[in-house]
């Protein structure tokens, strides 16, 4: 049995979470979703995902806040999605491993996940 990679998806828009869950599930990933930054940080420790997909523009805790806190205890690969390039630059400075521009196609997301995981072997 092949070990399926586990993806944690953090976004405050339920429609995007559903879209990403279905798309990644069809591509062979186990998908965990949350709309909460605090829950996302807990899930990193309890569910041990292989990678995180993180929306930046969220409230009350932004994706940049989540990323900043995550980097205090984890090297988990993180791909951020945003429609704003200046925010993507800030995310990379905070330790993001990649960026996917919104709106995106499912195959773009799957390709970026594969590429990021290939460049970040198991921790």
Q: Residue 78 — pLDDT band, cuts 50, 70, 90?
A: very high
DSSP 17-77: HHHHHHHHHHTT-EEEEES-HHHHHHHHHHT--SEEEEESS-SSS-HHHHHHHHTTT----
Domain layout of the chain by residue ranges: 6-119
Q: Residue 103 — pLDDT band, cuts 50, 70, 90?
A: confident
* pLDDT, averaged across the chain: 93
Mean pLDDT of 106-119: 94
**Model's pTM, two decimal places?**
0.94
- Cis check: omega of the bond before 103, within 30 degrees of 0: yes
Instruction: Report, at the CATH architecture level, how domain 6-119 is classified.
Output: 3-Layer(aba) Sandwich (3.40)
The pLDDT score that the predictor gives to residue 43 is 98
């Amino acid at each position: 049995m092949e070990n399926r990679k586990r993806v944690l998806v953090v976004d405050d828009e339920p429609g995007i979470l559903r879209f990403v869950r279905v798309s990644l599930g069809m591509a062979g990933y186990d998908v965990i979703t949350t709309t909460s930054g605090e829950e996302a940080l807990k899930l990193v420790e309890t569910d041990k995902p292989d990678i995180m997909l993180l929306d930046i523009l969220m409230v009350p805790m932004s994706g940049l806040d989540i990323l900043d806190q995550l980097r205090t205890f984890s090297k988990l690969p993180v791909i951020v999605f945003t429609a704003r390039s200046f925010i993507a630059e800030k995310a990379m400075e905070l330790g993001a491993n990649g960026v996917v521009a919104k709106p995106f196609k499912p195959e773009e997301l799957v390709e970026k996940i594969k590429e990021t995981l290939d460049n970040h072997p198991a921790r």
